[in-house]
């Protein structure tokens, strides 16, 4: 996945940098290691929506926000979404949970990004198919290359 992703970014002349780091489970610690803010982290969660069989959703939002699973389901015409199992995520993407990048290379996976991630930061950061490697990518380049559906999928901040 890492090689496929960096090849795509180079082909598209994207502004990005690769950061090697220890595998870390905490978003805040990874952000500190990367030298980025927690909100710059593009948290990618693979979901399935009730009522929409055969379609998966890669929901992407700022690392400091929470996903609203009801909103995710509604965006794809279904009911409340839920995370797929770690085994299913690995089988579908080839990446372990937490390392899935905010890109969809899979035809059955719809990419939905909360626009606040891209509006708030010039660069986004994410694990690049591996837990020990991150990419920091220009937000505009991400939008042009990934071509996500933009939709409000985060819990409203006053609901937290």
How far, in Å, CA of 154 to CA of 113, rounded?
A: 10
- pLDDT tens per residue, range 96-133: 888 999 999 888 899 999 999 999 899 999 998 998 99
Rounded to an integer, the average pLDDT of 134-156 is: 96
Any idea what the CATH number is for the domain that residue 147 is in?
Answer: 3.90.960.10
Residue 131 lies in a domain: yes
Query: What pLDDT does residue 78 have?
Result: 92
State the pTM of this model: 0.92
Structural domains of the chain, count: 1
Average pLDDT (122-145) is 95
Inside any domain, residue 159: no
Residue 17 covered by a domain: yes
Domain containing residue 88: 2-152
- 57-72 per-position pLDDT tens digit: 999 999 999 999 999 9
Tell whether 79 is covered by a domain. Answer: yes
């Amino acid at each position: 996945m890492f090689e496929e992703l960096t090849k795509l970014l180079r082909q598209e002349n994207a502004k990005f940098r690769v950061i090697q780091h220890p595998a870390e489970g905490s978003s805040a610690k990874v952000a500190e290691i990367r030298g980025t803010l927690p909100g710059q982290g593009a948290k990618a969660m693979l979901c399935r929506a009730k009522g929409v069989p055969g379609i998966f959703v890669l929901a992407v939002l700022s690392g400091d926000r929470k996903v609203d699973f009801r909103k995710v389901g509604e965006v794809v015409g279904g009911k409340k979404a839920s995370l797929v199992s770690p085994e299913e995520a690995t089988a579908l993407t080839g990446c372990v949970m937490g390392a899935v990048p905010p890109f969809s290379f899979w035809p059955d996976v719809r990419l939905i990004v909360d626009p606040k991630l891209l509006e708030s930061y010039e660069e986004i950061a994410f694990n690049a198919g591996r837990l020990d490697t991150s990419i920091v990518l220009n937000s505009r380049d991400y939008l042009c290359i990934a071509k996500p559906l933009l939709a409000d999928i985060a819990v409203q901040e006053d609901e937290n």
